[in-house]
C-alpha cells in the first residue's frame, strides 16, 4: 500500500505483485506483473517455455506465439486477459521480422487490437527475437 500526497489531498493505491508458474520466472530483479488497483502492468515476455526455462525452437513466429501464451498466463493470474489489454510494446531484434510477428500477433488480438509500439533493439535476453509487454485493465 502506497500513500501519495498532493497539494489538496492524500490518496491510497493497492500494489500487488503477480506471479504464476504458468509463465517463465523473472530473469532478474523484477516480477512478472504488478497489479495497481484496476490496472495490470505486465513485464515483457519472451518465447521461453515455462517448464524448461529454455527459448522455444523455431523462428520469430514460434517465439511470438510462446511470448503471447506467457503474457496470457500472467494476465490471467492478475485477473485480466488479452481482451483487456489497452497497450502493448513489442521489441524486435530485426524489423525484417515485423510482418511475421504481426501475422501471429493478429491472431491473439483480433479485430480490436490494443494500442501498440514496436521498437527495434540490438538484442534481447536469452537470444530471443521478440519480447512483448502489456498494460491491461483488470476484470471487474
Work out the burial of residue 72: count CB atoms within 10 Å of its CB; fewer than 13 is exposed, 13-18 middle, 19 or more buried: buried
In a domain, 1, yes or no: no
Span 100-113, pLDDT tens digits: 999 999 999 989 99
In a domain, 5, yes or no: no
The DSSP bridge pattern shows strands 115-120 and 85-92 to be parallel
In a domain, 45, yes or no: yes
Helix locations, the chain, DSSP H: 60-77, 98-109
- Please say whether the beta carbons of 61 and 67 come within 8 A: no
Q: Which three cell numbers stand for residue 70?
A: 506467457
What pLDDT is recorded for position 16? Answer: 94
Instruction: Tally the domains of the chain.
Output: 1
Q: Rounded to the nearest 10 degrees, what angle do helices 60-77 and 98-109 cross at?
A: 30
Q: Which CATH number fits the domain that encloses residue 110?
A: 3.30.1330.40
Domain that holds residue 83: 15-137
Span 37-87, pLDDT tens digits: 999 999 999 999 999 999 999 999 999 999 999 999 999 999 999 999 999
In a domain, 2, yes or no: no
Amino acid at each position: 500500500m502506497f500513500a501519495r500526497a498532493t497539494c489538496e489531498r492524500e490518496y491510497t493505491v493497492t500494489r500487488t505483485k503477480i506471479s504464476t508458474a504458468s509463465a517463465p520466472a523473472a530473469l532478474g530483479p523484477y516480477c512478472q506483473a504488478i497489479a495497481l488497483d484496476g490496472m495490470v502492468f505486465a513485464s515483457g515476455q519472451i518465447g521461453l517455455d515455462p517448464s524448461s526455462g529454455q527459448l522455444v525452437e523455431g523462428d520469430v513466429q514460434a517465439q511470438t506465439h510462446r511470448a503471447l501464451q506467457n503474457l496470457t498466463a500472467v494476465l490471467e493470474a492478475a485477473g485480466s486477459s488479452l481482451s483487456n489489454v489497452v497497450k502493448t510494446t513489442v521489441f524486435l531484434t530485426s524489423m525484417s521480422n515485423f510482418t511475421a510477428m504481426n501475422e501471429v500477433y493478429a491472431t491473439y488480438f483480433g479485430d480490436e487490437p490494443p494500442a501498440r509500439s514496436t521498437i527495434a533493439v540490438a538484442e534481447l535476453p536469452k537470444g530471443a527475437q521478440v519480447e512483448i509487454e502489456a498494460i491491461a485493465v483488470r476484470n471487474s
